[in-house]
Protein backbone atom coordinates (compact mmCIF):
# COMPACT_ATOMS: atom_id res chain seq x y z
CA UNK A 1 0.00 0.00 0.00
CA UNK A 2 1.75 3.15 -1.25
CA UNK A 3 -0.93 5.70 -2.07
CA UNK A 4 -4.41 4.55 -0.99
CA UNK A 5 -7.62 6.39 -1.75
CA UNK A 6 -10.08 6.62 1.13
CA UNK A 7 -13.68 6.97 -0.02
CA UNK A 8 -16.34 8.29 2.39
CA UNK A 9 -19.99 9.08 1.83
CA UNK A 10 -23.02 10.07 3.87
CA UNK A 11 -26.54 10.53 2.51
CA UNK A 12 -27.85 13.54 4.47
CA UNK A 13 -26.62 16.69 6.22
CA UNK A 14 -27.77 15.13 9.51
CA UNK A 15 -25.09 12.46 9.18
CA UNK A 16 -21.42 12.86 9.86
CA UNK A 17 -18.32 11.43 8.20
CA UNK A 18 -16.10 11.30 11.30
CA UNK A 19 -16.74 7.65 12.23
CA UNK A 20 -15.86 6.57 8.70
CA UNK A 21 -12.84 8.88 8.55
CA UNK A 22 -11.34 7.62 11.83
CA UNK A 23 -11.74 3.96 10.86
CA UNK A 24 -10.27 4.52 7.40
CA UNK A 25 -7.25 6.48 8.64
CA UNK A 26 -6.50 3.75 11.21
CA UNK A 27 -6.55 1.15 8.43
CA UNK A 28 -3.81 2.71 6.29
CA UNK A 29 -0.18 1.74 6.76
CA UNK A 30 1.27 4.92 5.23
CA UNK A 31 0.93 8.69 5.52
CA UNK A 32 0.53 9.23 1.80
CA UNK A 33 -3.24 8.77 1.38
CA UNK A 34 -5.93 10.81 -0.38
CA UNK A 35 -9.45 11.35 0.89
CA UNK A 36 -12.55 11.58 -1.30
CA UNK A 37 -15.72 12.46 0.61
CA UNK A 38 -19.22 12.83 -0.81
CA UNK A 39 -21.20 14.69 1.85
CA UNK A 40 -25.04 14.54 1.75
CA UNK A 41 -25.08 12.59 -1.51
CA UNK A 42 -27.54 9.73 -1.99
CA UNK A 43 -26.13 6.28 -2.60
CA UNK A 44 -28.84 5.71 -5.21
CA UNK A 45 -27.05 7.91 -7.73
CA UNK A 46 -24.30 6.26 -9.73
CA UNK A 47 -22.37 9.43 -10.50
CA UNK A 48 -21.15 11.37 -7.46
CA UNK A 49 -18.65 14.27 -7.55
CA UNK A 50 -15.99 12.78 -5.28
CA UNK A 51 -16.43 9.21 -6.49
CA UNK A 52 -16.00 10.47 -10.06
CA UNK A 53 -12.91 12.46 -9.03
CA UNK A 54 -11.41 9.41 -7.33
CA UNK A 55 -12.07 7.19 -10.36
CA UNK A 56 -10.41 9.87 -12.53
CA UNK A 57 -7.33 9.77 -10.28
CA UNK A 58 -7.30 5.97 -10.52
CA UNK A 59 -7.36 6.18 -14.32
CA UNK A 60 -4.30 8.43 -14.04
CA UNK A 61 -2.51 5.78 -11.93
CA UNK A 62 -2.43 7.84 -8.71
CA UNK A 63 -3.68 5.11 -6.32
CA UNK A 64 -2.91 1.46 -5.62
CA UNK A 65 -5.71 0.84 -3.08
CA UNK A 66 -9.29 1.99 -2.52
CA UNK A 67 -10.54 1.62 1.04
CA UNK A 68 -14.14 2.15 2.11
CA UNK A 69 -15.79 1.88 5.51
CA UNK A 70 -18.76 -0.11 4.23
CA UNK A 71 -19.88 -1.46 0.83
CA UNK A 72 -23.11 0.57 0.81
CA UNK A 73 -21.07 3.77 1.18
CA UNK A 74 -19.31 2.93 -2.09
CA UNK A 75 -21.84 1.33 -4.45
CA UNK A 76 -25.60 1.63 -4.96
CA UNK A 77 -26.15 -2.09 -5.70
CA UNK A 78 -24.26 -5.36 -5.98
CA UNK A 79 -24.16 -4.86 -9.74
CA UNK A 80 -22.71 -1.36 -9.37
CA UNK A 81 -20.17 -2.66 -6.84
CA UNK A 82 -18.99 -5.39 -9.21
CA UNK A 83 -18.66 -2.85 -12.07
CA UNK A 84 -16.61 -0.47 -9.88
CA UNK A 85 -14.34 -3.22 -8.54
CA UNK A 86 -13.72 -4.61 -12.04
CA UNK A 87 -12.78 -1.08 -13.13
CA UNK A 88 -10.33 -0.86 -10.19
CA UNK A 89 -8.83 -4.25 -11.07
CA UNK A 90 -8.35 -3.11 -14.67
CA UNK A 91 -6.08 -0.36 -13.29
CA UNK A 92 -4.34 -2.78 -10.86
CA UNK A 93 -5.98 -1.15 -7.82
CA UNK A 94 -6.91 -3.31 -4.81
CA UNK A 95 -10.25 -2.82 -3.07
CA UNK A 96 -10.91 -3.09 0.67
CA UNK A 97 -14.09 -2.68 2.74
CA UNK A 98 -13.47 -2.48 6.48
CA UNK A 99 -16.89 -3.35 7.93
CA UNK A 100 -17.38 -6.44 5.75
CA UNK A 101 -13.70 -7.39 6.16
CA UNK A 102 -13.18 -7.67 2.39
CA UNK A 103 -9.64 -7.25 1.12
CA UNK A 104 -9.13 -8.24 -2.51
CA UNK A 105 -5.40 -8.62 -1.96
CA UNK A 106 -6.13 -11.85 -0.02
CA UNK A 107 -7.45 -15.23 -1.29
CA UNK A 108 -10.46 -14.96 1.07
CA UNK A 109 -11.26 -11.48 -0.26
CA UNK A 110 -11.03 -12.68 -3.86
CA UNK A 111 -13.38 -15.56 -3.02
CA UNK A 112 -15.89 -13.12 -1.46
CA UNK A 113 -15.71 -10.96 -4.58
CA UNK A 114 -16.44 -13.98 -6.83
CA UNK A 115 -19.60 -14.59 -4.78
CA UNK A 116 -20.59 -10.91 -5.11
CA UNK A 117 -19.89 -11.06 -8.87
CA UNK A 118 -22.23 -14.06 -9.17
CA UNK A 119 -24.92 -12.16 -7.25
CA UNK A 120 -24.33 -9.15 -9.54
CA UNK A 121 -24.73 -11.34 -12.63
CA UNK A 122 -27.98 -12.71 -11.20
CA UNK A 123 -29.17 -9.14 -10.50
CA UNK A 124 -28.34 -8.15 -14.11
CA UNK A 125 -30.28 -11.17 -15.45
CA UNK A 126 -33.32 -10.23 -13.33
CA UNK A 127 -33.23 -6.65 -14.65
CA UNK A 128 -33.07 -7.88 -18.27
CA UNK A 129 -35.95 -10.28 -17.60
CA UNK A 130 -38.08 -7.52 -16.04
CA UNK A 131 -37.41 -5.18 -18.99
CA UNK A 132 -38.30 -7.91 -21.53
CA UNK A 133 -41.50 -8.69 -19.62
CA UNK A 134 -42.41 -4.98 -19.52
CA UNK A 135 -41.85 -4.54 -23.28
CA UNK A 136 -43.85 -7.70 -24.12
CA UNK A 137 -46.68 -6.53 -21.87
CA UNK A 138 -46.65 -3.05 -23.47
CA UNK A 139 -46.77 -4.52 -27.01
CA UNK A 140 -49.75 -6.69 -26.01
CA UNK A 141 -51.52 -3.65 -24.53
CA UNK A 142 -50.95 -1.56 -27.68
CA UNK A 143 -52.13 -4.37 -29.96
CA UNK A 144 -55.27 -4.83 -27.82
CA UNK A 145 -55.98 -1.11 -28.27
CA UNK A 146 -55.47 -1.40 -32.05
CA UNK A 147 -52.30 0.75 -31.95
CA UNK A 148 -49.11 0.23 -33.93
CA UNK A 149 -45.87 -1.06 -32.47
CA UNK A 150 -42.40 -1.15 -33.95
CA UNK A 151 -40.24 1.28 -35.96
CA UNK A 152 -42.24 4.24 -37.20
CA UNK A 153 -40.87 3.82 -40.75
CA UNK A 154 -42.44 0.35 -41.00
CA UNK A 155 -45.89 1.85 -40.42
CA UNK A 156 -45.87 3.56 -43.81
CA UNK A 157 -46.59 1.63 -47.00
CA UNK A 158 -45.64 2.55 -50.58
CA UNK A 159 -48.86 4.56 -51.01
CA UNK A 160 -47.98 6.73 -48.01
CA UNK A 161 -44.46 7.28 -49.35
CA UNK A 162 -45.82 8.33 -52.77
CA UNK A 163 -48.12 10.82 -51.03
CA UNK A 164 -45.14 12.25 -49.10
CA UNK A 165 -43.20 12.64 -52.37
CA UNK A 166 -46.17 14.37 -54.00
CA UNK A 167 -46.49 16.79 -51.10
CA UNK A 168 -42.78 17.64 -51.40
CA UNK A 169 -43.12 18.18 -55.16
CA UNK A 170 -45.85 20.78 -54.61
CA UNK A 171 -43.59 22.59 -52.13
CA UNK A 172 -44.99 21.41 -48.80
CA UNK A 173 -42.49 21.63 -45.92
CA UNK A 174 -41.26 18.56 -43.99
CA UNK A 175 -42.95 20.01 -40.90
CA UNK A 176 -46.35 20.19 -42.62
CA UNK A 177 -46.00 16.70 -44.10
CA UNK A 178 -45.00 15.40 -40.67
CA UNK A 179 -48.14 16.94 -39.17
CA UNK A 180 -50.29 15.20 -41.79
CA UNK A 181 -48.77 11.82 -40.93
CA UNK A 182 -48.44 12.40 -37.18
CA UNK A 183 -44.64 12.22 -37.02
CA UNK A 184 -41.70 14.59 -36.61
CA UNK A 185 -40.27 16.25 -39.73
CA UNK A 186 -36.98 14.32 -39.32
CA UNK A 187 -38.90 11.05 -39.77
CA UNK A 188 -40.33 12.30 -43.09
CA UNK A 189 -36.81 13.31 -44.18
CA UNK A 190 -35.47 9.82 -43.30
CA UNK A 191 -38.28 8.02 -45.10
CA UNK A 192 -37.90 10.10 -48.28
CA UNK A 193 -34.12 9.79 -48.20
CA UNK A 194 -34.39 5.98 -48.09
CA UNK A 195 -36.97 5.93 -50.85
Other CB atoms within 10 Å distance of the CB of residue 166 = 11
| Catalytic member of 11, 34, 42, 77 | 11
11 flagged as catalytic: yes
36-to-55, 85, 91, 175 alpha-carbon distances in Å: 10, 17, 18, 51
Which residues does the annotation mark as catalytic?
A: 11
Amino acid sequence: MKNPALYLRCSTVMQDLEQQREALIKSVTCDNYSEYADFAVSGMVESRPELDRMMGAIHEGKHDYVIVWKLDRFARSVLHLVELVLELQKHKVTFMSLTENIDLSTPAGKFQFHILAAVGEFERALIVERVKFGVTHKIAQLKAQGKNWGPIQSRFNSEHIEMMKSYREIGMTFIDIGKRFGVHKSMIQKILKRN
